[in-house]
Every structure is written in structure tokens, then in C-alpha cells.
């Protein structure tokens, strides 16, 4: 039991604007301060992996790593990367990073990882993340429905959730109009999923200025890192 208790997990959150890391103990509690660097541009696999390795060297000892990636992930291979670079399509992130870190690596969609850090594990729970793009994750009784990627589905006026609510649009239309759109999106998602709980995270969640229903909760951005422990359960 002593050995199990001492396993430390490097948790990595790759975003369109920032790459973040933290180390978690076996219970999922942080043992280091969160480290962050701007996502290198253009965000190709090589430079993003270099950034992760550099951040990991500031975090002390760890035995394995969990990575949240902004796109579809299958068996450690990244299938889409709308907000990074086309060269991520078909890239074996898990094995490439494992070789660089000299530790086993598991990779999951970033909103899925954020969800694991936030959900209660009962009923239908939907997670959306508002950042560079629009992430989404769906859980039923704590079990993940993987790679939902709802952000690229049509929402209104012929545009997707991401086109209507991503960071570039927020900057272009301002917070008041963006909040009105978000209110419409929440109503749409409520009818689509009939969720028991909706959790809203991501870097732009701080800009929300709405009266939210009791079953809608804004979650801290660090949830995206805290969910990393779930990949090893």
C-alpha cells in the first residue's frame, strides 16, 4: 500500500493558448504548483512536446503522465486538432511523449479530462469548456461517452457552437452579446441532452454573466488538470 500511495502523476492540459502541468498524488490532490507556458505557434507536435518536457522538469518527480488534448483521441493517437496544427492528425502522442518523459502516458480529450475533475458520477452530466474553442464531454453515471466534440456541430445561423462562442468571437462581439448566445446554447443543450447537471469550464468561463439554473455550475480551470488522475483508475 505504501508503494501505491506514493505514485505521482504528471497531469498535462494542452490548450489552444496555453500548456499547463501539475503533479497529483494517488488521491488526485496536487503536490506541486501549476506551471504554465503559452502554446507555441505554430502549434506543431514537436514544439508542443518540447514545451511539455520543459514544464515537466520544473515539477519534480513523477511516475506517469496524463494528457488532455483539444481534439478527438483514440488509443493515444490524436485524430483532430482544429485549434492547433494539421500535423497532429494521426499523431501518436502517447508513445512519442512517453519516450520523451521516460514514463507511461495516457491521452484523452481535454474536455473529457476536465469533466473527470468536476463530475459527481450520478445521472447524465454534461461538461462544456469555453476557451480558444468549445469543448464538450458527456458522462452517464460517471462513465464517459468519449470524443463528443459537440463544438463542431451546427448551433445557430448555420454556424457551430465553436464559431458562435469561441474566443475569437467573444473578442469580436463583446461579452454582452456573447452571454446572450451562451444563454441560447445552454437552452439548446438542455433540450438535447436532458442533463441532470451541466458544468461549464475553460478560460472564458470567468466572463459568464448569467443567472444560471441550480443544476448548472461554473467549474475552476484547474479541473482540467485534476481530472488527470481518472485516466489511471
Checking if the pLDDT of 219 tops 60, the result is: yes
Convert the pLDDT of each residue in 35-81 to its tens digit: 999 999 999 999 999 999 999 999 999 999 999 999 999 999 999 99
pLDDT of residue 84: 96
Evaluate if residue 3 carries a pLDDT over 60.
Answer: no
Provide the pLDDT confidence category of residue 4 given band limits of 50, 70 and 90. Answer: low
Q: What is the pLDDT of residue 147?
A: 85
- Looking at residue 6, its pLDDT comes to 87
Residue 5 has a pLDDT of 55
Q: Summarize pLDDT for 106-127 with one digit per residue, the tens.
A: 999 999 999 999 999 999 999 9
Percent of the chain whose pLDDT exceeds 70: 98
pLDDT at 80: 96
What's the mean pLDDT in 177-181? 98
Query: Which CATH topology does 119-220 take?
Result: Nucleotidyltransferase; domain 5 (3.30.420)
User: What's this model's pTM, rounded to 2 decimal places?
Assistant: 0.94
Query: For strand 197-201 and strand 105-109, is the pairing parallel, antiparallel, or unpaired?
Result: unpaired
Q: CA-based Rg of the chain, rounded to a whole angstrom?
A: 17
pLDDT in tens, 134-150: 999 999 999 999 889 99
Percent of the chain with pLDDT strictly greater than 90: 95
pLDDT for res 2: 45
CATH superfamily, domain at 2-113+225-232: ATPase, nucleotide binding domain (3.30.420.40)
Whether 214 has a pLDDT exceeding 60, the answer reads: yes
CATH 3.30.420.40 range(s) for the chain read 2-113+225-232, 119-220
DSSP letter string, 89-149: TTEEHHHHHHHHHTS-EEEEEHHHHHHHTT--SSSEEEEEEESSSEEEEEEETTEEE----
Q: Are 93 and 107 in contact (CB under 8 A)?
A: yes
Per-residue b/e over 62-99, b at no fewer than 16 CB within 10 Å? bebbbbbbbbbbeebbbbbbbbbbeebeebebbebbbe
Residue 1 has pLDDT above 60, yes or no: no
With residues binned 3-state (H G I as helix, E B as strand, rest as coil), the percentages for the chain, rounded to 5, are 35, 30, 35
Instruction: Count other C-beta atoms under 10 Å from residue 18's C-beta.
Output: 16
Amino acid at each position: 500500500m505504501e508503494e501505491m500511495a506514493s505514485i505521482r502523476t504528471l497531469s498535462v492540459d494542452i490548450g489552444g493558448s496555453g500548456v499547463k502541468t501539475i503533479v497529483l498524488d494517488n488521491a488526485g490532490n496536487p503536490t506541486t504548483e501549476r506551471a504554465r507556458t503559452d502554446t507555441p505557434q505554430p502549434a506543431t507536435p514537436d514544439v508542443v512536446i518540447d514545451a511539455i518536457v520543459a514544464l515537466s522538469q520544473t515539477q519534480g518527480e513523477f511516475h506517469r503522465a496524463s494528457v488532455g488534448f483539444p481534439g478527438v483521441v483514440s488509443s493515444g493517437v490524436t485524430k483532430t486538432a482544429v485549434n492547433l496544427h494539421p500535423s497532429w492528425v494521426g499523431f501518436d502522442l502517447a508513445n512519442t511523449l512517453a519516450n520523451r518523459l521516460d514514463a507511461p502516458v495516457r491521452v484523452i480529450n481535454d474536455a473529457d479530462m476536465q469533466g473527470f475533475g468536476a463530475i459527481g458520477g450520478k445521472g447524465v452530466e454534461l461538461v462544456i469548456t469555453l476557451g480558444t474553442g468549445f469543448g464538450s464531454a458527456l458522462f452517464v453515471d460517471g462513465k464517459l461517452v468519449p470524443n463528443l466534440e459537440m463544438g463542431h456541430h451546427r448551433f445557430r445561423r448555420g454556424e457551430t457552437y465553436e464559431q458562435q462562442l469561441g474566443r475569437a468571437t467573444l473578442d469580436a462581439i463583446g461579452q454582452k452579446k456573447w452571454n446572450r448566445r451562451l444563454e441560447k446554447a445552454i437552452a439548446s443543450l438542455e433540450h438535447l441532452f436532458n442533463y441532470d447537471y451541466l458544468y461549464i469550464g475553460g478560460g472564458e468561463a470567468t466572463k459568464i454573466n448569467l443567472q444560471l439554473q441550480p443544476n448548472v455550475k461554473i467549474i475552476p480551470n484547474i479541473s482540467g488538470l485534476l481530472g488527470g488522475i481518472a485516466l489511471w483508475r
